[in-house]
Chains A and B, each alone.
Chain A
Amino acid sequence: MKISALRLFNVKRFAGRGVAIEGIGDGVNVLCAANEFGKSTSFEALHALFFQPYSGKSGPVRNLRPYSGGNPLVEADIAHGEERFRITKQYYGGGFARVTDLASGRLVAQADEAENFISALIKGGPAGPAGLLWVRQGVTGIEKRSNAEEDGEKQVRASLLESVQGEVEAMTGGRRMAEIMQTVAGELDKLVTKRGPKAGGRYAAAIEVRDRLAAEEAQISADVGLLREALDKRATALKRLAELDGADERQQRQDAVASAQVAFEAAQAQGERLKTAEAEFKLARERRDGAGRALEAFRTALQKDADLAARRREAERRRGEAVGRRGEAAEASARAQAAADLADAQELETRELLARLDAALRAREAAERLAESRQRLSEAEAKRAALEEAEAQLALVGIQPGAIEELQALEIELSGLRAVAEAARPSVAVAYSVEAGGEIVMDGVPLADGQERSYDGQAQLVVMGIGVISLRSNKTPSGDRRLEQAEERRRALLDAMGVETLAAARARQVRAQQIDAEMRELRGSLSSLAPAGLARLREEVAAQALAGAELSEPEGDAAQLRAALSAAERQRLDARQALREAEPDRRRAEDAIVAAETALATLRTEQAHVEAQLGPEEQRAARERALCEDFADRSREAENADARAAELRAAAIDLVSAEAALKRARSVQSSVEQQIVALREAVAGLNAGIRARSDEAVEESWRETAEALSAAELRVAAFDKEIAVLQRLAVSLDRARSEARELYLKPVMAELSPLLGLLFDDASVTFDERTLLPQTISRNGQEEEVERLSGGMREQLSVLTRLAFARLLARGGRPAPVILDDALVYSDDDRIERMFDALHRQSRDQQIIVFSCRQRAFQKLGGNTLAMVDWRP
């Protein structure tokens, strides 16, 4: 389609008048005029002619009307292929639309038919699409605009582009495709949104119903389960109850209890009998044991009696012996006493004789000694003077010289005393009879006849044919008092000297010897002169002088007398010893008698006791027999009792088991009773639940719900399938359309790239698939959103895109005019010139109509200059 002329009357500022732009030709046509000259009005009028129905009163139509009102009229001559038409539209009063064939002047169409003709021109009708490609002042088709406006434009553009598409593919279907897709989307939209089932939609409702039914079904199913369980439980309970509560069962339980009771009682009775038998057995056993013990005791007593008799005889014998021994001992003692008395008398006599002899001898000697003493006294007194001096010296260092001697003398005396004591020891002498067969041996040494032998402590006499005689000296000799006194003195002496022993004293004396060396000589002389001291010598002299007066003659032999005295003394001591020996024998004999008597008395008592037990001797045998028989009887009785008890024990019923059995039988009975009660309660409880659920007919509800649920599930599945089908279809359509668009955009791109090359180096454009508008531009490898580009660049791109489309249409033999209404307001001079180049480049076989107020700038565009002339229809 090409536009060859545009005329308008009573449009906007042209109230009551009209203008015409004639002679629009191929290539670039430029209408360059100052502002307010009417360019935009012309443009809007042309737009309305093609896009606003004559009967419409929409915004664009109202805009056409002058302020003064009136009926806008727009007319355009177009060439469509070989034909040329005139399209005329009047709005408002007397509004019409009319298409006439310019060649013949024939009215082709009017009113709605004319509108259809026009829209066929734009959208492509039976004769194929044509179209107009518009770029308006400042409207690049890229900026955001109000939704309604945008939608309108988009619809227009879409329609245009779809015509283009159809042209490119030489196939129709774009519109049908869009409608089908819209239908599919609409159908889908009723069911689902991007987020899932559409709320309130049929699908969501079906899902909701299904879910509700599923929940209900689960609920009722649980109820049915409970009901069935309750029914089963009740059936089980009733069955169990019938079993438990049956007359037979009841009777059986009672019988069991009764028989257990009987068994228990029998066991109890048996137990009692056994206890009695055991007691009897125990008693019998005790009695048997008693009898046995009596018999045993009796026999023991008999035995003891016999023992006692023997022992008594022995004791009596011993007593006899002891009495005999006592007699002997008494006799021996008497004898010894007599011998002692005799020895005493002899000794006394001898001693007196000796004393008298001694006295006579001493008197004689005294007289002799007096003369000598007087001699010695004079010598001694001389010596003494010298000695006294020496003594004075000696006194300083020495001890009493006499002390040692005294001590020595004491020692000697002690020896003497000890010898005397020795003489007092006991002795024994034997006077053998003529017919004696041998000698008595004393301590291994034969004892001669009449020989007296002393001994210490004890001695043994072996008498052949008789035995051994033991002698004991149990008495200490009397008269030792002197010995003690001597010893006492000795001790006192030692103490006085300050020494322990005689030897010590002597040692001291030796020590003094050196000091009184000269004194010794003097003393020697003196002592020889006055052995007992000077004073003593004087006293001696005086005494001798006195004693010499009663001088008597000694009689008898002194040595003989002394020997006699010594013998007499020995005799006396021996006699004393013998007497002392005899005494213990006698005492022992008496003690033995006492012991024998005591033993005998004890035995007698015991024997009396045993005899009391045994009873009279003549009845003892009978008694023993009786005891024997008693024991035998008791043993038999005990055995019998034991046998009876054993018999009972063997036959005993286990009382514990019987009791347990009874207890069990009773507990069975009571537990069954409890079970029966519990079961009845359970059944009653179940009855209520079952009745309630049965009355609610849960099973019917369940089946109903289950069936409804499966129906709902089928419905949801059907929806699922429907959605899948629709989605599948939508995807297929979308994919097919995308592919087709790619196919279609290829030539557009082919057309566009040289144009882009005019303006930009190395630039390419991608298109939005939905709107077919430029989306991104890629320059020097960098991709930019078109929206971010500068205004100038956007408008340039917009124009170039239109040019490319137009070129595409033209190549398909369907040229469409490109109308630019001040479309390059933002572009700089350099770019404008390049755009002009592009326009001219595209203007072959192509109509481009440019409206612009930029007169100077557009002078360089060249092309067919259009002018506006007054016009009246």
Chain B
Amino acid sequence: MFRFIHSSDLHLGKRFGSFSGDLPGRLREARHGVIGRLAQHARDHGADTILLAGDTFDTETPAPDIRRQALAAMRDHAPIRWVILPGNHDSLQATQLWSTLKAEAPANVVLASEPAAIHLSAGAVLLPAPCTTRRPGRDMSAWMDGAATPEGALRIGLAHGAIRDFSEEGASSDVIAPDRAARAGLDYLALGDWHGPLAVDPRTRYSGAPEPDRFKHQRPGEALLVSIAGRSALPEVTSLATASFDWQMRELHLLDSDDPLQALDALLPESRQRRQTLLRLVVTGRSRLPSRTAMLEAVALAAPDFAFIELDDAGLAMDCEAGDLDLIDRAGALREAAEALLAEAGDDGLSAGEREIARAALARLFSYAQAVAS
């Protein structure tokens, strides 16, 4: 029985410049914390090896503190062994990084920087496929097919890249053969690059990022605990929670009749989770002016609870009835202005931008009219 933890895409040092305040720092710190959480899982589950399938560092030139602190943390978790594979973000082209890592790596950190077999234990051999450049342009795992390993030893592949055209970096030609495990007689192929966990086949998996860094994947970060009983036995894989921040994208679909506040309330996570939650709220459907105004206010009210909240209401169509305009004014110049804006918002002869501006102007007029009335 060989047991190890499979993770990837730690992206240590990622700075999250799109956020403001102390959130980038917290997110960055959370990435560093993954090392400790992975090590804890390894200890808890009796695994002595952690395979990091590429993109351990976010850039080819991580700041010295990022690099040194990561290595120090790994060393502290000895005797757990860390295997670091160069990914596309920290490819071997970053010669400075890898030469420094070679010089600084503690004994329990193995750099899989050569496509050569690494003996993990008496009965398990690791076949790594390091990324030589940012875009190698070929399947780096091809060499595994012909790699010789001792009779009866487990063959474990370690590679970074897309198997289909769903790469994190967009379209790419250098895909890893999806059936590499079968072709190369691998007992398990640990893949990195895709930030969400994905089982390609029973022997081929993406672990996903242990700490998410975007709203794209609708799952919390996790790592995989892999146990292989022996040659020809299917690996036994268990998911381990590793994330400290929850990146959620929630869609709120409103219908005319829905009470937006109620729907929102049902959608938002519990208060105690909110501090560690980054939420993107995508509101779609249709709503009347008062509901919309109420919902916006509710979101604004809830925002401080969260690490980050983003509201995307571009998909929310506006329903407007005479009664809604009455709330602005029953007649007169204000009513005229409101009618004109409403007509413009629905005028197909205008550009989408102009319609959106008119729509927003009407919503604004509504909220101002309410404020004046109150």
Contacts and interface: CB of A to CB of B under 8 A. Distances in A.
Interface string B352-366: 000011101100110
A720 to B, nearest CB: 10
A232 B135 CA distance: 13
Interface stretch (A89-97, A114-122, A392-400, A705-713): A705-713
Contacts of A173: 329, 331-335
Nearest to B358: A728
Nearest to A176: B372
A234 B97 CA distance: 13
Interface in B118-159: none
A739 B13 contact: no
Contacts of B258: none
Contacts of B66: 697, 700
Contacts of B24: 704
Interface stretch (A179-187, A539-547, A575-583): A179-187
A638 to B, nearest CB: 73
B14 A703 contact: yes
Contacts of A725: 357, 360-361, 364
A171 B332 contact: yes
A403 B17 CA distance: 164
A179 B328 CA distance: 13
Interface stretch (B79-87, B279-287, B291-299, B336-344): B336-344
Contacts of B62: 697, 699-700
- Interface core residue of B16, B93, B372 (most chain A CB under 10 Å): B372
Given A700-B63, A725-B364, A728-B361, A234 B329 contact: no
Interface stretch (A63-71, A325-333, A687-695, A786-794): A687-695
Nearest to A175: B372
B95 interface: yes
B59 interface: yes
Tell me what chain B mostly uses at the interface: helix, strand, loop, or mixed.
helix
A698 interface: yes
B187 interface: no
Interface in A705-762: 705-711, 721, 724-726, 728-729, 732-733, 735-737, 739-740
Contacts of B336: 736, 739-740
A694 B96 contact: yes
B18 A176 contact: no
Contacts of A551: none
Nearest to A227: B61
Contacts of B97: 694
B372 A231 contact: no
A100 interface: no
Contacts of A721: 356-357, 360
Contact of A234 (B95, B360, B371): B95
Contacts of A693: 61
A235 interface: yes
A565 to B, nearest CB: 156
A228 B59 CA distance: 11
A647 interface: no
A177 interface: yes
Nearest to A709: B17
A255 interface: no
Contacts of A176: 329, 334, 369, 372-373
B373 A700 contact: no
Given A728-B341, A732-B340, A739-B333, A703 B58 contact: yes
Interface residues of A, number: 51
B20 A711 contact: yes
Contact of B60 (A699, A705, A726): A699
B64 interface: yes
A700 B369 contact: no
B58 A177 contact: no
Nearest to A695: B64
Interface string B307-345: 000000000000000000000011111111100110000
A173 B24 CA distance: 48
Nearest to B64: A695
A270 interface: no
B215 interface: no
Nearest to A733: B337
A238 interface: yes
A169 B332 contact: yes
A392 B337 CA distance: 182
Nearest to A697: B63
Contacts of B334: 173, 176-177, 180, 733, 736
B17 A704 contact: yes
A584 interface: no
Nearest to A693: B61
A238 B61 CA distance: 19
Contacts of B373: 176
A737 to B, nearest CB: 5
B166 interface: no
A227 B97 CA distance: 12
B94 interface: yes
B95 A740 contact: no
Nearest to A708: B17
A531 to B, nearest CB: 164
Contacts of B100: 694
A200 to B, nearest CB: 20
Contact of A729 (B19, B341, B371): B341
A695 B97 CA distance: 10
Given A176-B369, A184-B368, A707 B16 contact: yes
Nearest to B360: A725
B58 to A, nearest CB: 6
B61 A697 contact: yes
B360 A703 contact: no
A454 interface: no
Given A732-B361, A733-B337, A735-B340, A231 B15 contact: no
Contacts of B19: 711
A819 to B, nearest CB: 29
A871 B348 CA distance: 72
A740 B332 contact: yes
A711 B94 contact: no
Interface in A163-193: 169, 171-174, 176-177, 179-180, 183-184
A289 B50 CA distance: 99
A235 B95 contact: yes
Given A693-B61, A703-B58, A736 B333 contact: yes
B333 A733 contact: yes
Given A227-B61, A707-B16, A740 B361 contact: no
A700 B15 contact: yes
A725 B361 CA distance: 5
A705 B337 contact: no
Contacts of A238: 95
A859 B100 CA distance: 110
Interface string B22-33: 001000000000
A704 B97 CA distance: 19
A698 B63 CA distance: 8
B333 A740 contact: yes
A231 B96 contact: yes
Interface in A231-247: 231-232, 234-235, 238
A319 B356 CA distance: 152
A701 B20 CA distance: 15
Nearest to B134: A228
A731 to B, nearest CB: 9
14 contacts: A231-B94, A693-B61, A694-B64, A697-B62, A699-B58, A701-B15, A703-B59, A709-B17, A726-B361, A728-B341, A728-B357, A729-B364, A729-B365, A732-B361
Given A176-B372, A733-B333, 11 more contacts: A694-B61, A694-B100, A697-B62, A699-B60, A700-B58, A705-B17, A709-B17, A711-B19, A725-B357, A732-B361, A733-B365
Interface of B: 13-20, 24, 58-64, 66, 93-97, 100, 329-337, 340-341, 356-358, 360-361, 364-365, 368-369, 371-373
Which A-B residue pairs are the 7 nearest by beta carbons? Answer: A697-B63, A707-B17, A704-B15, A704-B17, A699-B59, A708-B17, A736-B337
